[in-house]
Amino acid sequence: MANEESGQEKTLDPTARRLEKAREEGQFPQSPDVTTLVLVSIGALAIWVAGGRFLQALVDSTKMALSFSEPSRVAAFLIEWLLGPVGTLIVWISLVLLVLWFGSVLGPFALVNFQPKLANFKIDPERISFINGLKRIFSLQGLSQLGLALLKATLIFSAIAIYLWVVIDGVSAFTGMSLTQAILYALRLIGGGMLVLIAVVLVLGVSGGFITSLLFKEKMKMSVQELKDELKESEGNPELKARIRQKQREMARSRMIAAVEKADVVVMNPTHIAVALRYEAEKMAAPVVVAKGHDNFALRIREVAKEHQVPVTESPVLARALDAAVKVGAAIPEPLYRAVAALIAWAYEVKAEPARAPELYLPEDVIPSEYRPETKSQSPGIGSSA
């Protein structure tokens, strides 16, 4: 209870900044089960892709070796043999091993979208210390991990044993097969065994990865004081502030694009500014600006409006007036009621008779002088690409 009152109890979920900082320090969720799943999957894929060529190279090299009958040209034969089928065999084995090596390097990063940090490859003297290694092995955690490893190995071997028990009757058929048939049948048996192995490893990998992620998140939990310290530190971080502002702009634009789909009308100037309006007489005292933007974002608003059959028109003076005077989510000011009423009435006519869409007409005096761009400077607002 004392810990909770002092704010030291770690009950808060880790922030994105804490997780990112942990990654930079080389801490991230690692599951040997997921790594095994990656390796087995890559190995199976490599065998599936290269297995036929590997087998053919093995058969060719064996045939060539067995057919040799000229002791006088042993040296020439060895060179020909090594550069021919044996060389091909070595190349395919090397490629498979190289792919497996890449899998072993990237496998531990599967739970972080295969995105390693430089800190993950730094050598920690404490981790390679022989004494510390013995301590880890004989610690409670080490013994529990050993027990889990033995349990997993038992599950895998049990699954393979059951598979062999099921197919054991078919092995006797080898005696009546030709060499080619026997090889093909053996490959089918091996393929079936690989599928069983992948299925078991998949279950272990998914469950192990899920548990590892939960435990890592629990380990990274924060106390109230840690959260306060991080927020205080973030306040003076210009890079973080810029990222937050960028994220806020992206979220605001996403909300506006969604709002355009339900707008009643969009007015433009003609490509630099776009303002979307919505009016529900039963719920709103006045029309509301649901989205606005400049340049590329203005064009995006127009595209979305046309996709959803929202009427779009051009009125440079009104578009600039609304952009400068009204924030997104706010109702239009009373001096612009007449102009916007004419705009919405036009939109209703267009929706009623699209084939006979009239042109929007606004008298010159419908927009007060204080709202005209010649007398009032333009403010960019949210959505501006400037």
Distance from C-alpha of 185 to C-alpha of 182, rounded to nearest angstrom? 5
Same domain, 195 and 336: no
Same domain, 206 and 325: no
Q: Which residue reads 């608003």 in tokens?
A: 301
Average pLDDT in the 334-338 region? 89
Element housing 115 (H / E): none
C-beta of residue 90 within 8 angstroms of C-beta of residue 58:
no
The two three-digit tokens of residue 186, written as one number = 């053996």
For 26: left if phi > 0, alpha if psi spans -120 to 50, otherwise beta; the answer is left
Q: Which of 241, 250, 245, 288 is nearest to 383 (CA)?
A: 250
Q: What domain range is 33 assigned to? A: 11-224
Same domain, 206 and 309: no
User: What CA–CA distances, in Å, run from 10 to 15, 17, 224, 225?
Assistant: 13, 16, 7, 9
Same domain, 60 and 154: yes
pLDDT of residue 126: 58
Is the pLDDT higher at 49 or at 327? Answer: 327
pLDDT at 308 over 80: yes
Same domain, 83 and 200: yes
CATH number of residue 336's parent domain: 3.40.1690.10
Q: Please enumerate in sequence order all residues whose Cβ is within 8 A of that of 121, keeping only pairs 6 or more positions apart, or say none.
A: none
The two three-digit tokens of residue 262, written as one number = 């339900």
Same domain, 201 and 296: no
Does some domain include residue 83?
yes
pLDDT of residue 2: 41
pLDDT of residue 203: 86
Does some domain include residue 385?
no
Same domain, 22 and 67: yes
pLDDT of residue 135: 60
Same domain, 108 and 220: yes
Mean pLDDT for the chain overall: 76
74-83 and 85-106 are packed helices; what angle lies between their axes, rounded to 10 degrees?
40
Average pLDDT in the 326-344 region? 90
Work out how many domains the chain is built from and give that number. 2
Pairing of the two strands 312-314 and 265-268: parallel
Does some domain include residue 386?
no
pLDDT of residue 303: 92
